[in-house]
Chains A and B, each alone.
Chain A
Amino acid sequence: MSKHNATPTIDTRRSALGRARGLGAAKTGSAHWWAERLTSVALLPLVLYFIVSVLVLKGADHAVMAAYMAEPWNTVLYIALIAALFYHLDMGMQVVIEDYVRTDSTRIITLLVVKAGIAILALASLISVLKLAFS
C-alpha cells in the first residue's frame, strides 16, 4: 500500500493533451451500458414471473415440473428469463472484474473463465428447458 500513499509525480514526456488524445473512449461503452439497462428492465417482469413459478413448483415431482415447462407460455418465459438473466450477469460480472482485477493478464484470464462459465450455464439451462418442453 505504500506505493499508493506516496505523493505521485508525472515524468512522462507526453503532454496532458497528448495523453487525453491517445487514450480516448473505446467507442463501445454506451452499447454495453445500454444493454445492461435494457436487460434489467426486461428482468423486472421476468423475475416476478420466476418468483411465482418457484412458488407453484415448490416440492413438485418430476411429472409436475415436466408438464409445467411443456406449457408453451412457460417455455417461452423461461427461455426469455434465461436469455436476459445470463446476458445481464455476463455484463455485470465483466464490470466488476474490470474494476477490481488490476493486472492485465489476470484480468483477461478471469474474464475469459467467468464468461465461459456463464455461457455454459446459460446453454445448459436453455437446453434443459427445451428438452422438458419437447419430450
Chain B
Amino acid sequence: MKDVREALMVGRNSEGKLVRRPVSPFMLGSAYRFQTSSLTSIMHRITGVALGAGTLIFTAWLVSAAAGDSAFSVVQAILGSWIGIIILFGFSLALFYHFCNGIRHLAWDSGKGFELPAMHRSGALVFAATIVLTLAFWAVAFLVG
C-alpha cells in the first residue's frame, strides 16, 4: 500500500493487528450484523434515492400543467391509472418513511435517543408510523371525491 489516502483506511483491531477499515459499501454483513440500526439506516438512504427518482414524477406533473390542458390531462390520467397508483403508493411509502426516520435523525442530532433501548423503540415507531400514515393517506385519497 503506497497511496497515502489508502493508508488512512488502515487501523488496528483490538489485538493490535493492522486491518483494513471497512468502508461504506462493504459494512453490512461483513463488519455489521443486520439489526434495527443498520436496517433503518440503509432504508433511509434507499428511500432518499427512491424519492429522488420520484421527483421526476413531481416535475412531470408541474411541467405538464404549465404546458397546457392536453398534456396535464394525460399525466393526471397516468397517475390515476392502476400502474400510476401502484407507483404513487410506493412513493408515499418512501416519503412517509424518510419523513419519520428523518425526525429520528434530527432527534439524534440534538443528542437525544442514543441509548440502545430508545433507539430500538424509535426504530419500531418509525415502521409503525410509516404504515399508519401511508394507509391513512390512501384512505383519505379514496374517500375524497
Contact = CB atoms under 8 A, between A and B. Distances in A.
Nearest to B62: A128
B26 interface: yes
Interface in B73-100: 73, 76, 80, 95, 99
A23 B5 contact: yes
B103 A44 contact: yes
A22 B7 CA distance: 12
A132 B25 CA distance: 43
A124 B1 contact: no
Contact of B66 (A12, A55, A93, A131): A131
B69 A92 contact: no
Contact of A100 (B7, B24, B52): B24
Would you call the interface of chain A mostly helix, strand, loop, or mixed?
A: helix
A2 to B, nearest CB: 12
Interface residues of B, number: 46
Contacts, number: 113
B24 to A, nearest CB: 4
Given A37-B109, A69-B65, A93-B52, A8 B59 contact: no
A55 B144 contact: yes
Interface in A16-51: 19, 22-23, 37, 40-41, 43-44, 47, 51
A87 to B, nearest CB: 12
A58 to B, nearest CB: 6
B89 to A, nearest CB: 13
Interface residues of A, number: 44
A37 B24 contact: no
B26 A86 contact: no
Interface in B32-88: 45, 48-49, 51-52, 55-56, 58-59, 62-63, 65-66, 68-69, 72-73, 76, 80
Interface string B106-123: 100100000000000000
Nearest to A126: B62
A80 to B, nearest CB: 14
A82 to B, nearest CB: 8
A60 interface: yes
Interface of A: 4, 7-12, 14, 19, 22-23, 37, 40-41, 43-44, 47, 51, 55, 58-62, 65-66, 69, 85-86, 89, 92-93, 96, 99-100, 118, 121, 124-125, 127-129, 131-132
